[in-house]
Amino acid sequence: MTVTIRDVARASGVHVSTVSRTFSAPHMVNAATRTRVLTVAEELGYRPNRAARALTTGRTHNLGLIVADIANPFFPPLIKAAHAAARQRDYHLFVADTDEEPAAEEELVQAFSKQVDGVVLCSPRSSNKALERLAERVPFVVVNRRLRGAATVLMDVGHGARLAVEHLAGLGHRRVALVSGPAGSWTSAEIRTAAEQVPGIELVVIGPNAPTERGGFAAADRVRDCAVTGVLAYNDLVAIGLIEGLADRGLSVPEDVSVVGIDDIVSGRLNRPKLTTVAMPTAAAGRLAVDLLIQEVTATTSLETRLVIRDSTAPPR
């Protein structure tokens, strides 16, 4: 026979409404009670009827997660952590990729608005005006972008960029290139603002660039021609592509040019030389974004970044 919510309540020794809240609003239930109800539900094989719940609560228990480029290794840890956080609260998470296209971003938010309770937007490329308009259609949390009136989760990339340039300055570099990211990128603007504040450094900005290995490889000629001894790249993919491009042009890293990336992706640790980088708390950002979305909290939270020094930086010749 089908197990009902009343069966779970009876076996757990709680009211039916407590079982309902355990699945629909777990943050409102005492931790010990929540654990007992979930354990009993699992033992009895109880599964909430999502369609019925949606009709009574007006909530689908579905969330959307939109990323700029799902092929970028920066995003999978964030997606995995967000998925785990959603599943723990009995939500389903649907993931979509915009391929760095603002128009696709808007189309996906509009499509999701009919199917989900809220959306997490990661590194959006749309204008602030467009995002404010989309916020009227569906609740969302923005990761890696400041947006007035919206819940935002920021990874303090500016702090990390400053640490990276200060590291290069401490090694003796005085002329440093910033290989920036896509046009209109909030992250790229934050990196530039922070890098320009480091005293004693002549900063040469090269960009905009695609946030990919190909983008870094394509920037190698400009890096070589501007006679810098150090480089801060928009992300690790750009840094890895740049190192390959410099090698093709007879320049060694770090002997001829020191290179620092941002993100701390796995391939940066496997690269030769191992990449000095700014570690970004992507998993923590994914978990927090889902928590803010489910709890409907409008707040701005900044997560700390840190510099990881490896083999791609050294004093200039």
The Cα–Cα gap between 149 and 211 comes to: 28
Question: Which homologous superfamily is 157-281 in?
Answer: Response regulator (3.40.50.2300)
Question: Which homologous superfamily is 62-155+282-304 in?
Answer: Response regulator (3.40.50.2300)
Nearest 5°: the CA angle 109, 113, 116 is 110
The Cα–Cα gap between 315 and 317 comes to: 7
- For residues 261-294, b (16+ Cβ closer than 10 Å) or e, as one string? bbbbbeebeebebebbbbbbbbbbbbbbbbbbbb
| Contact between 293 and 267 (Cβ < 8 Å) | no
| Contact between 246 and 223 (Cβ < 8 Å) | yes
Residues paired with 78 in a beta bridge: none
| Contact between 186 and 144 (Cβ < 8 Å) | yes
User: Of 130-134, 200-204, 296-300, which one has max mean pLDDT?
Assistant: 200-204
pLDDT of residue 56: 53
Kindly tell me if the per-residue pLDDT of 298 is higher than 70.
yes
* Predicted TM-score of the model (pTM): 0.80
Domains 5-48 and 62-155+282-304 share a fold: no
Residue whose token pair is 């020794």: 13
pLDDT digits (tens, 9 = 90+) for 106-159: 999 989 988 899 999 999 988 888 888 888 888 999 999 988 888 999 999 999
Could you state, in order of their start, the residue ranges of all structural domains in the chain?
5-48, 62-155+282-304, 157-281
pLDDT of residue 293: 93
Task: Report in angstroms the alpha-carbon separations of 18 from 15, 52, 85, 117.
Answer: 5, 17, 21, 22
- Domain with residues 5-48, CATH architecture: Orthogonal Bundle (1.10)
pLDDT of residue 21: 84
pLDDT digits (tens, 9 = 90+) for 1-56: 678 889 999 999 999 999 988 877 777 899 999 999 999 998 988 877 665 555 45
Nearest 5°: the CA angle 114, 105, 121 is 80
Angle, in degrees to the nearest 10, between helices 16-24 and 50-57:
100
pLDDT digits (tens, 9 = 90+) for 42-70: 898 887 766 555 545 556 789 999 999 99
